[in-house]
Amino acid sequence: MEKLIITVALTGNVPTKKMNPNLPVTADEIAADVRRCHDAGAVLFHVHARDAGEKPTLDINVYKKNARRIKDLAPGVIVQLSTGARAGKDWEERAQPVRLLPEMGSFTTGSNNLPGIVYENSPAFIEYLAKVYQETGVKPEIEVFETGMINNAHFLEKKGFIKAPLHFDFVLGAPGSMPGTVKNLQFLSESIPRGSTWTVAGIGKAEIPLSAAAIAMGGHVRVGLEDNLYLPDGSRASNPLLVEKIVRLAREIGREIATPDEARSVLSLDPGHKDRILSMLK
């Protein structure tokens, strides 16, 4: 089996410090958490931006600050910036994090309901964002909340906007979309184009059980406070505690953990793109 790539979704758009004081919100907190999680075994970091009042923002300067601090404290890790919609709906604002030339960006190829909102990604917006991925050469992580999003990604690949091998993240267990069951994970993992890679992000209580399933199935794992605030025993989680748990599970099962460069090779990331973001952060 391939070595296991551990991704951390550190902050997200929804959790607050009131819900869990371990949530990293400022650039310093985010970068310090990246460092700790990387020391524990994680190599890929999914990053959002919050304003001074903790609210989600698409302010490109906050993204820059976050990326700069991460590159200072953990220069080797893979940075993936979010293009999610909770912070705003303006197309270009959502695309801007990709234009900072991180190694990866998130890309949801369809719409669905999430708590309190319609997570809206219209066909026209999807094509717009796909073109930005094409222009910049940034590798998208296709966020799949529903099966049709796999078909949309396949369609974009056939049209030449995004390049195979594709990398998928199955987000399972969010209220309003596909439930977080091993059956659904199995179905999705068998539905992606041959040669693709995949990871799973189980939401809430689904996080650790689906991670264990993915480790055994040969997929990869995303954990973090964006997706889940608690450990399975009900105590408060932190990003490093979640990573440590995944590393222990993987070791027990006999799956080795990927270094950043091993992850780059599994994900077919262009080695020349490793530090392109630095030129954008000046």
| Closer Cβ to Zn ion, 82 or 112, answer by number | 82
Interface with Zn ion by CB under 5 A: which range of 80-88, 109-117, 172-180, 227-235?
80-88
CB 33 within 8 A of CB 70: no
| Closer Cβ to Zn ion, 141 or 157, answer by number | 141
Interface with Zn ion by CB under 5 A: which range of 25-33, 79-87, 247-255, 257-265?
79-87
Total interface residues for Zn ion by CB under 5 A: 1
Determine if 121 is a binding residue for Zn ion (CB under 5 A): no
d(CA 86, CA 57): 8
Phi then psi for residue 118, to 5 deg, are -90, 120
Interface with Zn ion by CB under 5 A: which range of 75-83, 145-153, 178-186, 230-238?
75-83
d(CA 66, CA 108): 22
| Closer Cβ to Zn ion, 82 or 199, answer by number | 82
Q: Which of residues 15-44 bind Zn ion (CB under 5 A)?
A: none
Q: Cis bond leading into 165, ω under 30°? A: yes
**Cα angle at 7 between 92 and 199, to 5 degrees?**
90
What is the smallest separation between the CB atom of 89 and Zn ion, expressed in angstroms? 16
Q: Which of 57, 66, 80, 82 binds Zn ion (CB under 5 A)?
A: 82
| Closer Cβ to Zn ion, 82 or 238, answer by number | 82
| Closer Cβ to Zn ion, 222 or 255, answer by number | 222
Distance of CA 211 to the CA centre of its chain: 14
What is the smallest separation between the CB atom of 183 and Zn ion, expressed in angstroms? 25
Interface with Zn ion by CB under 5 A: which range of 21-29, 76-84, 196-204, 234-242?
76-84
- Give residue number: closest CB to Zn ion: 82
| Closer Cβ to Zn ion, 82 or 197, answer by number | 82
d(CA 242, CA 225): 9
3-state SS assignment for residue 179: coil
3-state secondary structure 219-252: CEEEECCCCCCECCCCCECCHHHHHHHHHHHHHH
Q: Which region, left, alpha or beta, applies to residue 173 given φ > 0 means left and ψ of -120 to 50 means alpha?
A: left
Query: For binding to Zn ion (CB under 5 A), which residues are involved?
Result: 82
